[in-house]
Structure 1
Protein backbone atom coordinates (compact mmCIF):
# COMPACT_ATOMS: atom_id res chain seq x y z
CA UNK A 1 0.00 0.00 0.00
CA UNK A 2 2.37 2.78 1.19
CA UNK A 3 1.88 6.51 0.66
CA UNK A 4 -0.54 7.43 -2.09
CA UNK A 5 0.17 10.32 -4.38
CA UNK A 6 -2.31 12.73 -5.85
CA UNK A 7 -1.50 14.68 -9.03
CA UNK A 8 2.14 13.77 -8.80
CA UNK A 9 2.72 15.32 -5.37
CA UNK A 10 3.69 13.44 -2.26
CA UNK A 11 0.78 13.17 0.15
CA UNK A 12 1.42 14.95 3.44
CA UNK A 13 0.02 13.35 6.56
CA UNK A 14 -3.05 15.26 7.66
CA UNK A 15 -2.45 17.25 10.83
CA UNK A 16 -5.49 17.15 13.04
CA UNK A 17 -5.69 19.51 15.94
CA UNK A 18 -8.15 17.55 17.95
CA UNK A 19 -9.48 18.77 21.24
CA UNK A 20 -9.31 16.44 24.21
CA UNK A 21 -12.42 14.34 24.61
CA UNK A 22 -11.82 12.66 27.96
CA UNK A 23 -13.83 13.28 31.10
CA UNK A 24 -10.68 14.45 32.89
CA UNK A 25 -10.48 17.46 30.57
CA UNK A 26 -13.99 18.66 31.38
CA UNK A 27 -14.66 17.50 34.94
CA UNK A 28 -14.92 19.96 37.80
CA UNK A 29 -12.19 19.57 40.40
CA UNK A 30 -13.11 22.48 42.65
CA UNK A 31 -16.14 20.97 44.33
CA UNK A 32 -18.61 21.96 46.97
CA UNK A 33 -18.86 18.96 49.27
CA UNK A 34 -20.79 18.10 52.40
CA UNK A 35 -20.32 15.80 55.36
CA UNK A 36 -23.04 13.36 56.33
CA UNK A 37 -23.49 15.12 59.70
CA UNK A 38 -24.49 18.47 58.20
CA UNK A 39 -28.09 19.63 58.28
CA UNK A 40 -30.31 19.39 55.21
CA UNK A 41 -31.04 23.13 55.52
CA UNK A 42 -27.31 23.79 54.99
CA UNK A 43 -27.48 21.81 51.76
CA UNK A 44 -30.50 23.77 50.60
CA UNK A 45 -28.75 27.07 51.29
CA UNK A 46 -25.56 25.97 49.48
CA UNK A 47 -27.43 24.58 46.46
CA UNK A 48 -29.38 27.82 46.02
CA UNK A 49 -26.38 30.08 46.68
CA UNK A 50 -24.12 28.21 44.26
CA UNK A 51 -26.80 27.46 41.64
CA UNK A 52 -26.13 23.72 41.65
CA UNK A 53 -28.48 20.76 41.90
CA UNK A 54 -26.44 18.46 44.11
CA UNK A 55 -23.02 17.68 45.55
CA UNK A 56 -20.89 14.82 46.86
CA UNK A 57 -20.89 13.83 50.51
CA UNK A 58 -17.42 12.91 51.77
CA UNK A 59 -15.72 11.87 54.99
CA UNK A 60 -12.69 13.58 56.54
CA UNK A 61 -10.34 11.66 54.18
CA UNK A 62 -12.25 12.93 51.08
CA UNK A 63 -13.64 9.46 50.47
CA UNK A 64 -17.02 9.51 48.77
CA UNK A 65 -19.85 8.32 51.03
CA UNK A 66 -22.85 9.61 49.10
CA UNK A 67 -24.54 12.26 46.98
CA UNK A 68 -27.13 14.79 48.15
CA UNK A 69 -29.35 16.49 45.58
CA UNK A 70 -32.17 18.98 45.35
CA UNK A 71 -34.48 15.98 44.93
CA UNK A 72 -33.31 14.60 48.27
CA UNK A 73 -34.05 17.99 49.82
CA UNK A 74 -37.55 17.87 48.34
CA UNK A 75 -38.13 14.73 50.36
CA UNK A 76 -37.20 16.63 53.53
CA UNK A 77 -39.53 19.49 52.62
CA UNK A 78 -42.37 17.08 51.92
CA UNK A 79 -41.85 15.14 55.14
CA UNK A 80 -41.58 18.24 57.32
CA UNK A 81 -45.06 19.30 56.22
CA UNK A 82 -46.50 15.83 56.69
CA UNK A 83 -45.04 15.41 60.16
CA UNK A 84 -45.42 19.14 61.03
CA UNK A 85 -41.71 19.45 61.80
CA UNK A 86 -39.30 22.30 61.02
CA UNK A 87 -37.44 22.25 57.71
CA UNK A 88 -33.84 21.18 57.81
CA UNK A 89 -33.53 19.77 61.32
CA UNK A 90 -32.43 16.43 59.88
CA UNK A 91 -28.94 15.34 58.92
CA UNK A 92 -27.83 14.75 55.34
CA UNK A 93 -27.12 11.11 56.13
CA UNK A 94 -30.87 10.44 56.38
CA UNK A 95 -31.59 11.74 52.88
CA UNK A 96 -28.44 11.29 50.79
CA UNK A 97 -28.06 8.57 48.19
CA UNK A 98 -25.33 6.21 49.35
CA UNK A 99 -25.39 3.88 46.31
CA UNK A 100 -23.37 6.16 44.08
CA UNK A 101 -22.11 5.32 40.62
CA UNK A 102 -18.70 6.75 39.79
CA UNK A 103 -16.85 6.90 36.50
CA UNK A 104 -13.21 6.85 35.47
CA UNK A 105 -11.63 10.13 34.40
CA UNK A 106 -10.18 8.40 31.32
CA UNK A 107 -13.47 7.58 29.60
CA UNK A 108 -14.44 9.77 26.68
CA UNK A 109 -17.22 12.29 26.90
CA UNK A 110 -19.33 10.39 24.37
CA UNK A 111 -19.44 7.29 26.57
CA UNK A 112 -20.16 9.54 29.53
CA UNK A 113 -23.03 11.20 27.63
CA UNK A 114 -24.41 7.74 26.93
CA UNK A 115 -24.29 6.89 30.65
CA UNK A 116 -26.13 10.10 31.49
CA UNK A 117 -28.75 9.32 28.86
CA UNK A 118 -29.24 5.67 29.84
CA UNK A 119 -29.33 6.13 33.60
CA UNK A 120 -30.81 9.58 34.07
CA UNK A 121 -28.19 10.79 36.54
CA UNK A 122 -27.27 14.47 36.70
CA UNK A 123 -23.69 14.01 37.85
CA UNK A 124 -20.99 11.36 38.23
CA UNK A 125 -18.26 11.65 40.86
CA UNK A 126 -14.74 10.69 39.84
CA UNK A 127 -12.78 8.75 42.42
CA UNK A 128 -9.08 7.92 42.22
CA UNK A 129 -7.21 5.82 44.79
CA UNK A 130 -10.30 5.87 46.99
CA UNK A 131 -10.55 9.68 47.11
CA UNK A 132 -12.93 12.06 45.39
CA UNK A 133 -10.98 14.03 42.77
CA UNK A 134 -13.76 15.57 40.73
CA UNK A 135 -17.21 15.39 39.28
CA UNK A 136 -18.70 15.62 35.81
CA UNK A 137 -22.21 16.86 35.19
CA UNK A 138 -24.54 16.89 32.23
CA UNK A 139 -23.75 20.57 31.80
CA UNK A 140 -20.01 19.77 31.59
CA UNK A 141 -20.74 17.33 28.75
CA UNK A 142 -22.82 19.96 26.94
CA UNK A 143 -19.95 22.44 27.26
CA UNK A 144 -17.49 19.84 25.93
CA UNK A 145 -19.74 19.13 22.95
CA UNK A 146 -19.96 22.84 22.17
CA UNK A 147 -16.17 23.16 22.27
CA UNK A 148 -15.82 20.19 19.95
CA UNK A 149 -18.49 21.46 17.56
CA UNK A 150 -17.32 21.50 13.97
CA UNK A 151 -14.65 18.87 14.52
CA UNK A 152 -14.76 15.28 13.41
CA UNK A 153 -15.70 13.22 16.43
CA UNK A 154 -13.63 10.05 16.40
CA UNK A 155 -14.80 7.82 19.20
Structure 2
Protein backbone atom coordinates (compact mmCIF):
# COMPACT_ATOMS: atom_id res chain seq x y z
CA UNK A 1 0.00 0.00 0.00
CA UNK A 2 1.33 3.30 -0.97
CA UNK A 3 1.24 6.31 1.26
CA UNK A 4 -1.65 8.50 0.44
CA UNK A 5 -1.11 12.19 0.64
CA UNK A 6 -4.14 14.27 1.30
CA UNK A 7 -4.23 17.89 0.44
CA UNK A 8 -7.37 19.70 1.23
CA UNK A 9 -9.12 21.95 -1.22
CA UNK A 10 -6.77 24.69 -2.18
CA UNK A 11 -7.99 28.22 -1.87
CA UNK A 12 -7.80 30.21 -5.04
CA UNK A 13 -4.75 32.43 -5.02
CA UNK A 14 -5.59 35.95 -3.97
CA UNK A 15 -5.71 38.39 -6.79
CA UNK A 16 -3.00 40.93 -6.59
CA UNK A 17 -4.47 44.13 -5.35
CA UNK A 18 -3.33 46.91 -7.57
CA UNK A 19 -2.14 50.12 -6.05
CA UNK A 20 -4.43 53.04 -6.73
CA UNK A 21 -3.49 55.03 -9.80
CA UNK A 22 -3.21 58.56 -8.50
CA UNK A 23 -3.34 61.79 -10.44
CA UNK A 24 0.01 62.81 -8.91
CA UNK A 25 1.66 59.79 -10.54
CA UNK A 26 0.57 60.88 -14.03
CA UNK A 27 0.45 64.68 -13.85
CA UNK A 28 2.98 66.86 -15.60
CA UNK A 29 5.21 68.82 -13.28
CA UNK A 30 7.43 70.61 -15.81
CA UNK A 31 4.87 73.20 -16.80
CA UNK A 32 5.00 76.16 -19.11
CA UNK A 33 3.26 78.84 -17.11
CA UNK A 34 2.28 82.41 -17.82
CA UNK A 35 2.12 85.71 -15.92
CA UNK A 36 -0.77 88.19 -15.88
CA UNK A 37 1.28 90.94 -17.51
CA UNK A 38 2.37 88.85 -20.53
CA UNK A 39 1.15 89.95 -23.94
CA UNK A 40 -1.36 87.70 -25.70
CA UNK A 41 0.79 87.47 -28.83
CA UNK A 42 3.74 86.28 -26.73
CA UNK A 43 1.47 83.64 -25.18
CA UNK A 44 0.24 82.56 -28.63
CA UNK A 45 3.86 82.20 -29.73
CA UNK A 46 4.75 80.07 -26.66
CA UNK A 47 1.69 77.89 -27.14
CA UNK A 48 2.48 77.14 -30.77
CA UNK A 49 6.22 76.74 -30.17
CA UNK A 50 5.61 74.22 -27.38
CA UNK A 51 2.65 72.53 -29.11
CA UNK A 52 0.32 73.02 -26.14
CA UNK A 53 -3.24 74.30 -26.12
CA UNK A 54 -3.06 76.35 -22.94
CA UNK A 55 -1.46 76.75 -19.58
CA UNK A 56 -1.70 77.97 -16.02
CA UNK A 57 -1.28 81.59 -15.03
CA UNK A 58 0.67 82.02 -11.78
CA UNK A 59 2.07 84.84 -9.67
CA UNK A 60 5.69 85.12 -8.52
CA UNK A 61 4.98 82.71 -5.62
CA UNK A 62 3.55 80.07 -7.98
CA UNK A 63 0.01 80.69 -6.74
CA UNK A 64 -2.55 79.73 -9.40
CA UNK A 65 -4.38 82.78 -10.75
CA UNK A 66 -6.11 81.32 -13.78
CA UNK A 67 -5.80 79.55 -17.12
CA UNK A 68 -5.08 80.90 -20.59
CA UNK A 69 -5.89 78.93 -23.75
CA UNK A 70 -5.57 79.06 -27.51
CA UNK A 71 -9.23 80.04 -27.60
CA UNK A 72 -8.61 83.00 -25.27
CA UNK A 73 -5.78 84.18 -27.54
CA UNK A 74 -7.85 83.74 -30.71
CA UNK A 75 -10.73 85.71 -29.20
CA UNK A 76 -8.38 88.57 -28.33
CA UNK A 77 -6.83 88.56 -31.81
CA UNK A 78 -10.25 88.44 -33.45
CA UNK A 79 -11.65 91.23 -31.25
CA UNK A 80 -8.59 93.38 -31.89
CA UNK A 81 -8.98 93.03 -35.63
CA UNK A 82 -12.75 93.55 -35.56
CA UNK A 83 -12.56 96.65 -33.35
CA UNK A 84 -9.29 97.82 -34.97
CA UNK A 85 -7.52 97.85 -31.62
CA UNK A 86 -3.77 97.31 -31.17
CA UNK A 87 -2.63 94.12 -29.44
CA UNK A 88 0.05 96.01 -27.48
CA UNK A 89 -2.02 96.18 -24.30
CA UNK A 90 -3.73 92.79 -24.70
CA UNK A 91 -2.52 90.91 -21.62
CA UNK A 92 -3.11 87.51 -20.12
CA UNK A 93 -4.76 89.15 -17.11
CA UNK A 94 -7.48 90.59 -19.32
CA UNK A 95 -8.26 87.31 -21.12
CA UNK A 96 -7.51 84.46 -18.71
CA UNK A 97 -10.17 82.34 -17.07
CA UNK A 98 -10.02 83.15 -13.35
CA UNK A 99 -12.57 80.75 -11.86
CA UNK A 100 -10.52 77.57 -12.28
CA UNK A 101 -11.50 74.05 -11.24
CA UNK A 102 -8.59 72.14 -9.72
CA UNK A 103 -8.32 68.54 -8.58
CA UNK A 104 -6.44 66.80 -5.80
CA UNK A 105 -3.23 64.99 -6.65
CA UNK A 106 -4.43 62.06 -4.53
CA UNK A 107 -7.55 61.53 -6.65
CA UNK A 108 -7.75 58.28 -8.60
CA UNK A 109 -6.95 58.82 -12.29
CA UNK A 110 -10.17 57.10 -13.37
CA UNK A 111 -12.18 59.53 -11.20
CA UNK A 112 -10.31 62.33 -12.95
CA UNK A 113 -11.32 60.80 -16.30
CA UNK A 114 -14.96 61.13 -15.26
CA UNK A 115 -14.40 64.81 -14.44
CA UNK A 116 -12.86 65.41 -17.86
CA UNK A 117 -15.97 63.96 -19.46
CA UNK A 118 -18.38 65.90 -17.24
CA UNK A 119 -16.61 69.26 -17.44
CA UNK A 120 -15.27 68.96 -21.01
CA UNK A 121 -11.93 70.47 -19.95
CA UNK A 122 -8.59 69.75 -21.55
CA UNK A 123 -6.59 70.12 -18.35
CA UNK A 124 -6.90 70.41 -14.59
CA UNK A 125 -4.30 72.18 -12.44
CA UNK A 126 -3.16 70.44 -9.27
CA UNK A 127 -2.68 72.78 -6.32
CA UNK A 128 -1.17 71.85 -2.99
CA UNK A 129 -0.79 74.25 -0.04
CA UNK A 130 -1.91 77.11 -2.29
CA UNK A 131 0.79 76.50 -4.92
CA UNK A 132 0.61 74.99 -8.38
CA UNK A 133 2.42 71.63 -8.31
CA UNK A 134 1.28 70.12 -11.60
CA UNK A 135 -1.34 69.68 -14.23
CA UNK A 136 -3.13 66.64 -15.60
CA UNK A 137 -4.40 66.51 -19.15
CA UNK A 138 -6.66 64.17 -21.04
CA UNK A 139 -3.60 62.57 -22.64
CA UNK A 140 -2.14 61.88 -19.17
CA UNK A 141 -5.34 60.03 -18.25
CA UNK A 142 -5.19 58.03 -21.49
CA UNK A 143 -1.57 57.11 -20.72
CA UNK A 144 -2.71 55.81 -17.30
CA UNK A 145 -5.54 53.80 -18.90
CA UNK A 146 -3.14 52.20 -21.39
CA UNK A 147 -0.78 51.28 -18.57
CA UNK A 148 -3.67 49.86 -16.56
CA UNK A 149 -4.82 47.81 -19.55
CA UNK A 150 -1.38 46.24 -19.90
CA UNK A 151 -1.54 45.13 -16.25
CA UNK A 152 -5.18 44.34 -15.67
CA UNK A 153 -8.08 45.87 -17.50
CA UNK A 154 -10.47 46.27 -14.61
CA UNK A 155 -11.35 49.87 -14.01
CA UNK A 156 -13.31 49.22 -10.95
| TM-score category of the 2 structures, normalised to the smaller one | 0.7 to 0.9
| Other-structure match for 1:48 | 48
Q: 1:48 to 1:19 in 2, by over 3 A?
A: farther
In the alignment of these two chains, the number of paired residues is 149
Structure 1 residues 15-24 or 107-116, which shifts more? 15-24
Counterpart of 1:119 in structure 2 is 119
Deviation at 1:110, TM superposition (A): 1.2
Q: Give 1:90-129 correspondences, 5 Å limit.
A: 90-129=90-129
In 2, Cα distance between equivalents of 1:105 and 1:117: 18
Matched ranges for 1:77-88 at <5 A: 77-87=77-87
SS in 2 for 1:149: helix
Establish whether residue 36 from structure 1 lines up as the match of residue 18 from structure 2. Answer: no
| Deviation, structure 1 residue 11 | 2.7
Q: What TM-score does the superposition give when structure 2 sets the normalisation length?
A: 0.87
Asked if the contact 1:19/1:148 (under 8 Å) is kept, the reply is: no
* 8 Å contact from structure 2 (residues 126, 135) kept in 1: yes
Deviates further, 140-149 or 10-19: 10-19
Give yes or no for the alignment of 1:149 onto 2:149: yes
List per-residue Cα deviations over 1:80-100 (Å, max 9, x = no partner): 110123446411001000000
Conserved 8 A contact 1:27-1:135: yes
Q: Quote the Cα distance in structure 1 between the aligned partners of 2:104 and 2:98.
A: 18
Structure 1 120/10 Cα, relative in aligned 2: closer, same or farther at 3 Å? same
Query: How many angstroms does 1:8 deviate by?
Result: 2.9
Q: Secondary structure at the match of 2:56?
A: strand
Q: Which moved more, 1:71-80 or 1:125-134?
A: 71-80
Deviations 1:69-112 (A, max 9, x none): 01101111211110123446411001000000000001111111
User: Structure 2: how far apart are the matches of 1:75 and 1:19?
Assistant: 43
Larger radius of gyration: 2
Aligned counterpart, 1:4: none
